[in-house]
A and B are shown apart, each in its own frame.
Chain A
Amino acid sequence: ETGVTQSPTHLIKTRGQQVTLRCSSQSGHNTVSWYQQALGQGPQFIFQYYREEENGRGNFPPRFSGLQFPNYSSELNVNALELDDSALYLCASSLSWSSYNEQFFGPGTRLTVL
């Protein structure tokens, strides 16, 4: 059984650019959640997708957007990058949307904004 995978592993962008991060969910999982983990901090919830629809959003501006595809893989898009967007971005998949379902995390994408 393949776990959650994310690409790319590392990424360097400059301020004002746009970035797309990708996540493949674990087999059988229809829910994907995205988190931002700044250096020395715990992960912060960005949003969740359940069966291709956004199903909850944290306190992040609209320039953070996402998609979920019919195979339940997902993308996180960030427009107009700012220096504070530098972080580890974690994707997690689960069997369904409710928080009592275990979320399985990928290894993350390290984004550096210069």
Chain B
Amino acid sequence: AQSVTQLDSQVPVFEEAPVELRCNYSSSVSVYLFWYVQYPNQGLQLLLKYLSGSTLVKGINGFEAEFNKSQTSFHLRKPSVHISDTAEYFCAVSGAGTALIFGKGTTLSVSS
């Protein structure tokens, strides 16, 4: 069975500061990894995904993530955040099947 742990439930940060949202996963099989963002009263939007190949994945809105197989991690980073990045962020894992397994989410709060 697969599982996802998002290590921080809330991350407050000032505008233009760097941010890292941490995600660890557990799986006995090869996985696909995803980060989604959810703005208030909206559905989820895909930020980036790792399927195979380069372990550094670049996504939309200046986000990137690094897949680390030995540490079973897939941390999300952005070098300089904006107020508009305030949202809920979800890490998700999937094996060869159909379902996405999500973490509980990290609330990113960006203030000026």
Q: Are B32 and A44 in contact (CB under 8 A)?
A: no
Q: Does A2 contact B (CB under 8 A)?
A: no
Q: Are A107 and B43 in contact (CB under 8 A)?
A: yes
Contacts of A40 in B (CB 8 A): 104-105
A105, chain B: closest CB distance, angstroms = 4
From the candidates A45, A106, A107, name the one contacting B99 in the complex (CB within 8 A): A45
From the candidates B45, B96, B104, name the one contacting A99 in the complex (CB within 8 A): B96
Q: How many residues of B contact A (CB 8 A)?
A: 25
Q: Does A103 contact B (CB under 8 A)?
A: yes
A93, chain B: closest CB distance, angstroms = 11
By secondary structure, the A interface counts as loop
Interface flags, A37-64, vs B, CB<8A=1, else 0: 0001111110010100001101000000
Q: Are A33 and B44 in contact (CB under 8 A)?
A: no
Say whether, besides A99-B32, A102-B46, A105-B43, A41 and B94 are in contact (CB < 8 Å): no
Q: Give residues in B with beta carbon < 8 Å to A.
A: 4, 32, 36, 41-46, 49, 51, 90, 92, 94-105
Q: Give residues in A with beta carbon < 8 Å to B.
A: 4, 33, 35, 40-45, 48, 50, 55-56, 58, 90, 92, 97-100, 102-108
Q: Give me 26 A-to-B residue pairs in the complex whose CB atoms sit less than 8 angstroms apart, sorted by A's number.
A: A33-B100, A40-B105, A41-B104, A42-B4, A42-B103, A43-B100, A45-B101, A48-B99, A50-B98, A55-B98, A90-B43, A98-B98, A99-B94, A99-B96, A99-B98, A99-B99, A100-B32, A100-B51, A103-B46, A104-B46, A105-B36, A105-B44, A106-B43, A107-B41, A107-B42, A108-B43
